[in-house]
Amino acid sequence: MSLLIKNGRIVTASDDYVADIFIEADKITTIGKNLDMKADQVIDAKNKLVIPGGIDPHVHLEMPFMGTFSSDNYETGTRAALFGGTTMVIDFVIQSQGNSLHAALAEWQGRSDGNALSDYSFHMAVTDFNEDTKAEIKDIIEVEGISSFKTFMAYKGSLMIDDRQMVGLMDEVKKHGGMVSVHATNGDIIDYLVATNKSEGNLSPLYHYLSQPEITESEATGRFADMAYHTGVPAYVVHLTCEGALNKIREVAKRNQKVFVETCIQYLTLDASLYERGFEAAKWVMSPPLREKRNQAGLWAGINQNLIQTIATDHCPFMWEQKKKGENDFTKIPNGQPGIEHRMELLYSEGVCKEKISLNKFVEISSTNSAKIFGVFPQKGCIAVGSDADLVIFDPNEKHVISAKTHHMNVDYSAWEGCEVTGKCKTTILRGKIAVHENKVFVEKGYGKFVKRNKLSSVI
Ligand code: URP
Ligand code: ZN
Ligand code: ZN
């Protein structure tokens, strides 16, 4: 099969020009002006942008969490991702305490194998680092192709590890060429604030927010960065939300330490005023919580200062019925919100259209940097001869309104209900195949492939 995309404005992390792209099977084979080649399919992309398929480095599909499962499975979640221009997602395998990393991997493979429509990969979340876990790290990287290890400094009693385990894991991961990432909030302070609020009868979702003040994040971010500096392991902070935590990253850069940082689209576009809506606020109960609006300018600045490299979603949706489990107690509200479908369009609309970031920066933080940091560049994350033909044809002017009535995620509310965005993913191409075109899906479950990542790229 061959596909010719004519007259598109090709935008990458570094370039911006009008040309044609010729695709044979799953790869880009020619890029040039006025290509006169016979193709099985031709798409006219005049007046449209052609950008690399998005990579969402942080999602949770059918994740067992807080006594339930996130409501998008591999099929529904990756289908929604394709509608929104994301062609690859990275999910988290989560070790359960007392069990092995390999057992957790087998569990996640059981849910994902043969079910995805987009490409996907895994991070490995280590929740119990001991001599047995330590012995598994090499094989997880070299055989399973999972080179990034996630840790939790919060969720005390279920996912959290202590600093001794953290440095032990860092030493081992460094030895084998991997990276350690972190949910950086101080679990002990949060545990204390949650207990205090509960004992005082403060049980509404607002107290989820008030139990996780910014200081819990800035303290843990700095501590994590120091431990990474001490061990020398490549390090990455997931879902950073606030100025105080970002300043810790700014600070360690002064000693020439590079800690990669991800923020999420919700922290750039939504804020803590939503927690004043009574129990409706459960829609936005996530960890860390949304922050005061003043933080958003700092996050956009951090993107432009290259302190923040990637934009994710932390997609972890729950149906309203699931959220209602915490109607009388915020600690029972499953943490997480949906977003996998809207990351690219919201980032373009709020970032590029409102002149907070350039078009090249949009591509860099929605695709290219994740490909580089997580070791799949230049196979993915760029538009180049020899790369996977993962492309989005994007109408920069089309306006539309986000709604649960029209989204494709398996969740019955939208975190951005009624929000008008400018810019629409018209066609999503994954490995040379049209996956979504004009709101219709053309690939089946099982088309999405697991992407092994047994090396990290340092070209960032
Ligand atoms: O609230 C969230 N973020 N849920 C998913 C798990 C995590 O902490 O990333
Ligand atoms: Zn987290
Ligand atoms: Zn997460």
Mean pLDDT, residues 115-120: 98
**pLDDT for residue 454:** 78
- 457 vs 280, residue with greater confidence: 280
Report the separation in Å between the CA atom of 31 and the middle of ligand 3, taken as the mean of its atom positions.
37
Choosing from 286, 313, 318, 323 the residue with most ligand 1 atoms within 8 A of its CB, the one to mutate for a pocket test is 286
Report the separation in Å between the CA atom of 288 and the middle of ligand 1, taken as the mean of its atom positions.
7
Report the separation in Å between the CA atom of 36 and the middle of ligand 2, taken as the mean of its atom positions.
49
Average pLDDT along the chain? 97
User: What is the 8-class DSSP label of residue 308?
Assistant: -
Mean pLDDT, residues 385-391: 98
Residue with tokens 């002006």: 33
Does the pLDDT of residue 62 top 90, yes or no? yes
Report which residue type is found at 43: I
Mean pLDDT, residues 325-330: 98
- Ligand closest in space to the Cα of 335: 1
- 375 vs 457, residue with greater confidence: 375
* Structure token digits, residue 439: 């709101």
**pLDDT for residue 459:** 57
**pLDDT for residue 460:** 65
Q: What residues are paired with 92 via a beta bridge?
A: 123
Residue 195: count other Cβ atoms within 10 Å of its Cβ.
Answer: 12
CATH number of the 53-373 domain:
3.20.20.140
Nearest CA to ligand 1 atom 7: 287
Q: What residues are paired with 394 via a beta bridge?
A: 49, 425
Residue with tokens 């280590």: 126
- pTM, full prediction: 0.98
**pLDDT for residue 366:** 99
Does the pLDDT of residue 212 top 60, yes or no? yes
> Which ligand 1 atom sits closest to the C-alpha of 58?
9
Nearest CA to ligand 1 atom 3: 287
Our CA dihedral for 35, 40, 45, 46, rounded to 10 degrees, sits at 50
What end-to-end distance do the CA atoms of the chain give, in Å? 34
Residue with tokens 């942080």: 58
Does the pLDDT of residue 32 top 60, yes or no? yes
pLDDT over 70 percentage in the chain: 99
Each as own residue / partner, the long-range contacts of residues 268-276 (CB below 8 Å, 24 or more positions apart, any chain) are: 268/296, 268/299, 268/300, 268/311, 268/346, 268/347, 268/350, 268/351, 269/296, 269/346, 269/350, 269/416, 269/419, 270/415, 270/416, 271/295, 271/296, 272/209, 275/205, 275/206, 275/208, 275/209, 276/206
As a whole number of angstroms, the distance between CA 260 and CA 184 comes to 13
Report the separation in Å between the CA atom of 21 and the middle of ligand 1, taken as the mean of its atom positions.
39
Q: What is the pLDDT of residues 440-460, one digit of tens each?
A: 999 999 999 999 997 776 556
Q: What CATH fold (topology level) applies to the domain 2-51+382-395+422-441?
A: Urease, subunit C; domain 1 (2.30.40)
**pLDDT for residue 456:** 75
Report the separation in Å between the CA atom of 237 and the middle of ligand 2, taken as the mean of its atom positions.
10
As a whole number of angstroms, the distance between CA 357 and CA 360 comes to 8
**pLDDT for residue 455:** 74
Nearest CA to ligand 1 atom 4: 336
As a whole number of angstroms, the distance between CA 266 and CA 259 comes to 22
Residues with CB under 6 A from ligand 1: 60, 183, 286-287, 314, 316, 335-336
Q: What is the pLDDT of residues 166-192, one digit of tens each?
A: 999 999 999 999 999 999 999 999 999
Using alpha carbons, select from 389, 410, 426 the residue that is nearest to residue 119: 389
User: Regarding beta strands 49-52 and 2-11, do their DSSP bridges make them parallel or antiparallel, or are they unpaired?
Assistant: parallel
Q: What is the pLDDT of residues 412-442, one digit of tens each?
A: 999 999 999 999 999 999 999 999 999 999 9
Our CA dihedral for 311, 315, 320, 325, rounded to 10 degrees, sits at -110
Does the pLDDT of residue 320 top 70, yes or no? yes
As a whole number of angstroms, the distance between CA 12 and CA 10 comes to 7
Nearest CA to ligand 1 atom 5: 336
Q: What is the pLDDT of residues 296-315, one digit of tens each?
A: 999 999 999 999 999 999 99
* Segments making up each domain of the chain, as ranges: 2-51+382-395+422-441, 53-373
Report the separation in Å between the CA atom of 150 and the middle of ligand 3, taken as the mean of its atom positions.
10
Nearest CA to ligand 1 atom 9: 314
At 57, give phi and psi (nearest 5°). Answer: -80, 5
Does the pLDDT of residue 101 top 70, yes or no? yes
